[in-house]
């Protein structure tokens, strides 16, 4: 096999879309694969566009080259990943470990979605993007920028979405299905919700597991009596020093942060200029994101 393109383990729509699109758009032979499982939002977008879920990455012994998308953080990748075979990285996260990838050409830009960087690769040759790929990248940009309301959204995200939309607009029924897929998480038990979208980070306060729930009605989870207990289970299961949960309510355009560690929540409260209430919960009247509002303050 010449090379594989993979996002982080248990990826979101942005990472999966980037892997699929880059495999189609690249001149050299690359194959898109995943590690772990995809979420329901990713599944409904792929189904709606008539695309298959990428297969699991093959054994490393059969892989010559690796292209990472939507991450360059070792904690979000398998421990046995052959880091020396990573030759390209396309990412948009401020945290990472570029020194762990000595053979990689790294593109890491401050945009809302990695899909924006993929679209920019062919912006001057829009005929290279099929209607299906244009739709897939649009969905990824919408998802990762939270419909352009996320703080990390940049003018580049808007520009590339507009370019892709001119090629082939994303069907409205897929946009509606994305929102329903996000909201369907709330029907799950609390532990499954907390375990759903988690990334590990090594910080000045130790290893922190940061879980994120982005959907309309996310703040309703604060009423669940087992929420803090589920967060504690997440901490133990990931062998972390603490855990953080970021609830991002897309209906109310508000967020809430809670943690198993008072030191962690106090650090975030001071950095964000938002006090924690008597239950140790930080409430924000805006959307908070893991990559822009949490990790930079814990590094």
Give the model confidence (pLDDT) of 101-144 as tens digits: 999 999 999 999 999 999 998 887 888 899 999 999 999 999 99
Helix axes 131-144, 40-48, angle to 10 degrees: 160
Residue 67 has pLDDT above 90, yes or no: yes
Counting beta carbons within 10 angstroms of the beta carbon of residue 250, is it exposed (0 to 12), middle (13 to 18) or buried (19 or more)? buried
Sign of CA dihedral 48, 52, 57, 62: negative
Beta strands across the sheet bearing 206-215 = 198-203, 206-215, 242-249, 254-259, 282-284
For residues 8 and 155, membership in a common domain is answered with yes
DSSP secondary structure code for residue 212 in this structure: E
Contact 126, 106 (CB under 8 A): no
Q: Is the pLDDT of residue 219 over 90?
A: yes
Confidence label for 37 from pLDDT (cuts 50, 70 and 90): very high
- The arithmetic mean of pLDDT across residues 228-250, rounded, is 97
The radius of gyration of the chain's CA atoms, rounded to the nearest angstrom, is: 19
- pLDDT tier for residue 1 given thresholds of 50, 70 and 90: low
Domain with residue 257: its CATH number is 3.10.310.20
Q: What per-residue confidence (pLDDT) applies to 125?
A: 82
pLDDT-derived band of residue 28, with 50, 70 and 90 as boundaries? confident
Q: Are 66 and 102 in contact (CB under 8 A)?
A: no
Statement to judge: residues 242 and 264 lie in one domain: yes
Q: Are residues 94 and 202 in the same domain?
A: no
Beta strands, E only, 99-233: 105-108, 198-203, 206-215
Alpha carbon of 78 to those of 42, 75, 82, 131: distances in Å? 21, 8, 9, 33
- Is 198 found in the same domain as 160? no
What pLDDT is attached to residue 158?
98
Cβ-based neighbours of 41, under 8 Å, separated by 6 or more: 12, 13, 143, 178, 181, 182
Q: How many domains does the chain have?
A: 2
For residue 164, what are the domain limits? 4-180
Whether residue 236 is predicted with pLDDT greater than 70 in this model: the reply is yes
* 200 & 164 share domain: no
Percent of the chain whose pLDDT exceeds 70: 100
pLDDT of 65: 96
Alpha-carbon torsion (156, 161, 162, 166), positive or negative: positive
User: What is the arithmetic mean of pLDDT over 10-24?
Assistant: 96
In this prediction, residue 13 has a pLDDT band, given cuts at 50, 70 and 90, of: very high
Distance of CA 26 to the CA centre of its chain: 23
In degrees, to the nearest 5, what angle opens at C-alpha 18 toward C-alphas 16 and 24? 110
* Average pLDDT value over all residues in the chain: 95
Global pTM exceeds 0.85: yes
Q: Looking at the structure, tell me whether residues 33 and 140 fall in a common domain.
A: yes
pLDDT for the residue 206: 95
Final residue of a domain: which of 149, 180, 211? Answer: 180
Clarify whether residues 136 and 193 are in a common domain. no
Indicate if 212 and 76 belong to the same structural domain. Answer: no
> Can you give the CATH number for the domain in which 101 is found?
3.90.1640.10
Of 192, 296, 194, 299, the C-alpha closest to 245 is: 194
């Amino acid at each position: 096999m010449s090379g594989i393109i993979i996002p982080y383990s248990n990826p979101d729509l942005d990472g999966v879309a980037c892997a699929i699109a880059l495999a189609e758009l690249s001149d050299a032979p690359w194959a898109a694969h995943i590690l772990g499982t995809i979420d329901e939002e990713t599944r409904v977008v792929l189904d709606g566009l008539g695309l298959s879920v990428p297969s699991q990455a093959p054994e490393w012994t059969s892989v010559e080259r690796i292209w990472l998308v939507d991450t360059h953080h070792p904690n979000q990748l398998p421990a046995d990943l052959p880091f020396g075979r990573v030759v390209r990285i396309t990412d948009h996260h401020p945290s990472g470990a570029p020194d762990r990838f000595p053979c990689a050409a790294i593109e890491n830009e401050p945009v809302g979605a990695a899909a924006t960087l993929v679209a920019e690769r062919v912006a001057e040759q829009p005929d290279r993007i099929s209607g299906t790929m244009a739709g897939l990248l649009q969905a990824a940009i919408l998802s990762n920028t939270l419909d352009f309301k996320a703080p990390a959204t940049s003018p580049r995200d808007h520009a590339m979405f507009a370019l892709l939309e001119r090629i082939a607009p994303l069907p409205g029924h897929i946009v509606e299905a994305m929102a329903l897929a996000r909201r369907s998480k709330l029907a799950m038990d609390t532990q499954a919700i907390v375990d759903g979208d988690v990334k590990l980070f090594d910080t000045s306060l130790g290893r922190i597991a940061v879980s994120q729930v982005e959907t309309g009605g996310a703040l309703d989870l604060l009423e669940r009596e087992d929420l803090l207990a589920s967060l504690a289970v997440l901490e133990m299961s990931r062998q972390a020093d603490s855990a953080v949960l970021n609830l991002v309510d897309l209906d109310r355009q508000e967020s809430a942060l809670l943690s198993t560690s008072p030191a962690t929540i106090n650090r975030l409260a001071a950095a964000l200029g938002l006090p924690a209430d008597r239950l140790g919960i930080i409430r924000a009247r805006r959307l908070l994101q893991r990559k822009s509002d949490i990790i930079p303050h814990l590094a």
